Structure 1
Amino acid sequence: MIRVEPALVVALAPHGEHAVVARFLSADQGLVAAYVQGGRGRKLRPVLQIGNRVALDLVTKGAGQLAFATVHPLGTNMAMLHGPAALALVDYLASLAAATLPEGEAQPRLFPLFDALFGGAAAGALAVDVGPALVRLELALLAELGLGLDLASCAATGATEDLAFASPKSRQAVSRGAGLPWAAKLLPLPGFLLGVVGSGGQTDAAAIADGLALTGHFLAREVLQGGVAAKRTWTARERLVSLLLR
C-alpha cells in the first residue's frame, strides 16, 4: 500500500451498483486509475467530485491490474459558487488531464499548475488571472508531451528581443521585424509569455486571446484529435475559452 497526498479527482466512471473507477492526478504518481468501493454511496459521493483534493491509500496486486483506493477528503472544490466560467474551467482541466497524460508517470512540473488552476476555479478567480495561467499550463503540457515551443530567440535571426510571433512549423519565436512580412502565416506571441504585461500590471483580453490561440493551435493539431475523449476535451476547451473572452 502506498499513500498518495494530495491528489486531484479528474475522472469518474460507474462500476457496478455502488463502486466507481476513478482517475486521480498527483505529483509523484501522475495519473492513476483505481477502483473505489462504495464510490457512489452517500458517504463517498461528495468526496469523489471532479476537482476535489483527496488523499489516497492505494493497494496494487500486480502489474497491469487495477489498483484499489481508499479515499480521504482534503478539500472540496467550490467552483459551483462562482458561475459557469469556474465550472467550465474545472471541467476542462479534468478532461485535459485524463485525456492527455500517460498513466503512472510522475508529474512534478504539471501537477502544481493543475492544482493552482483548480484552486483558482474554487476561489472564483478572474479571467485576467485564469487566462495566462491556463496558457502556461498548456505550454507546459505540450513540453511534457515532447511538443514544446522555443520562445527564447527568433527562428530567423537568433534575436532575443522584440519577439512578436511564433512559427507553427518550427515551434520557435519570430521577431517582429523578421515576421511582419509573413504575419498572416504566423501566430501572435503575447507579451505575458515574455514577461511583458499591460498597464496596471495586468494582461489584457487581446493578449489572453492570442495566448489561447497559440496553445490551442498545437493542441488541436497534434494532441486533441481523434477519439471520443479528445473531442470531448476540445469541446470543453472551446466552451471555456468563449466564457473567458466574452
Structure 2
Amino acid sequence: MEWRDEGVLLSVRKHGETSVIIDVLTASHGRHAGVVRGGVSRKMTPILQPGSQLDLIWRARLSDHLGSFTVEPIRSRTAGVMNDRLALAGLNAIAALVRFALPEREAHPGLFQGTVTLLDLLSVTDAWPLAYLRWELALLDELGFGLDLSRCAVTGSFDDLAYVSPRTGRAVSQQGAGEWADRLLPLPLCLLGQGDASDREIVDGLSTTGHFLAGQLAHSVGKQLPAARDRLIDLLARQG
C-alpha cells in the first residue's frame, strides 16, 4: 500500500531509539499516523515540528497497518510563532483540537484547507483569533454539531439575535429570550460574521463554541477538551 499527500504535522512522539511516530492532518486521507525512520536526527528534528507543512509518502504492507512516512518539508511555521506567545498558543490549540475531534483516516478536505489557512494567518496578522473562532464553528459544523444562528428559534426573527440555546444550538433574540436570558449562551456579533471583534467578544464566542465542543462533541468521542485550548482562551482573556 502506498499514497502521497500533503499534510500538517499535529504531533510527534518518540518510537524506539531513532524513530518517531507522527500524527498529521492530510488533504485527502484525513488524520493519519505513521513512523518516520530516523526522525530524531539533527536533519529531521527541525522539520518535524507541529504546524509544519509536509509532503508525505505513506507505505504499509496492509491498509490497516501503522505504516511509515517519508517526509519532505514544504514550509515551517515554527519561526513565525516562536516569539509570539499568543500565536504559539494558537498553533498548539489548533493541533490539539484536530487530534481531539477528528477520527483517524476520515477525509475532511474542506476543514484541511481551512486549517492550513488559519495556521498561515498566525504569523501574518493580529486578527487571527477571530479566524480561530470561526474555525471552531466550522469544525462543529463539519462533524455534525453545527449551530443554527440564522434566525431566532422562538420568534423566527432575523434581527436582534443575542443568545444561543445551550440545548439546541439555535440563536435566540433579545425579545425571544425574555426571562430565560441568564440561562442562555452569549452570541457576540463576531459569531454572526459581522465585523471585527475585541478579545473579550472572541472569548465570549469561544465560551459558546466550547459548550458544544465539551458537551456534544466530547461526549461523542469519549474525551475531554485539550488543555491547549484552555491555555489559549486564558491568554486571550488576559488581553481583553
Q: Which amino acid aligns with 1:8?
A: V
Q: Which amino acid aligns with 1:139?
A: L
Distance 1:4 1:171 in 2: 35
Residue aligned with 1:92, SS? helix
Distance 1:228 1:16 in 2: 29
Q: Which amino acid aligns with 2:116?
A: D
Contact 1:155 1:170 in 2 (8 A): no
Q: Which amino acid aligns with 1:208?
A: I
Could you say which residue in structure 1 is the equivalent of 2:120?
A: 119
Distance 2:65 2:171 in 1: 44
Contact 1:82 1:124 in 2 (8 A): no
Could you say which residue in structure 1 is the equivalent of 2:198?
A: 204
Residue aligned with 1:230, SS? coil
Provide structure 2 residue ranges, at least 5 long, that are not aligned to the other structure: none
State percent identity of aligned pairs: 38
Indicate yes or no: 2:18 matched with 1:18.
yes
Indicate yes or no: 2:236 matched with 1:244.
yes
Could you say which residue in structure 2 is the equivalent of 1:148?
A: 146
Residue aligned with 1:193, SS? helix
What is the Cα deviation at residue 103 of structure 1? Answer: 1.0
Give the direction of change, closer, same or farther, for the CA distance of 1:99–1:169 in structure 2 (3 Å limit).
same
What is the Cα deviation at residue 145 of structure 1? Answer: 2.2
Q: Which amino acid aligns with 1:119?
A: D
Residue aligned with 1:17, SS? coil
Q: Which amino acid aligns with 2:89?
A: A
Residues 151-197 of structure 1, C-alpha deviations (whole Å, 9 max, x = no match): 11211122222211110011101112111421110111111232322
Contact 1:131 1:212 in 2 (8 A): no
Moved runs in structure 1, 4+ residues, more than 6 A? Answer: 225-229
Q: Would you say how many aligned residue pairs link Structure 1 and Structure 2?
A: 236
Q: Which amino acid aligns with 2:150?
A: A
Q: Which amino acid aligns with 1:25?
A: L
2:215 pairs with one of 199, 206, 221? 221
Could you say which residue in structure 2 is the equivalent of 1:130?
A: 128
Instruction: Give RMSD over aligned pairs.
Output: 2.0
Could you say which residue in structure 2 is the equivalent of 1:64?
A: 64
Could you say which residue in structure 1 is the equivalent of 2:31?
A: 31
Residues 120-146 of structure 1, C-alpha deviations (whole Å, 9 max, x = no match): 22x1532xx222211111111112222
Distance 1:158 1:169 in 2: 17
Distance 1:192 1:226 in 2: 27
Residue aligned with 2:9, SS? strand
Could you say which residue in structure 2 is the equivalent of 1:83?
A: 84
Residues 75-95 of structure 1, C-alpha deviations (whole Å, 9 max, x = no match): 111244432111111111111
Indicate yes or no: 2:166 matched with 1:165.
no
TM-score w.r.t. the length of structure 1 is 0.89
Distance 2:87 2:202 in 1: 17
Distance 2:142 2:220 in 1: 20
Indicate yes or no: 2:54 matched with 1:54.
yes
What is the Cα deviation at residue 242 of structure 1? Answer: 1.5
TM-score w.r.t. the length of structure 2 is 0.91
What is the Cα deviation at residue 241 of structure 1? Answer: 0.9
Q: Which amino acid aligns with 1:108?
A: P
What is the Cα deviation at residue 147 of structure 1? Answer: 1.5
Provide structure 1 residue ranges, at least 5 long, that are not aligned to the other structure: none
Q: Which amino acid aligns with 1:194?
A: L
Distance 2:204 2:23 in 1: 32
Give the direction of change, closer, same or farther, for the CA distance of 1:220–1:108 in structure 2 (3 Å limit).
same
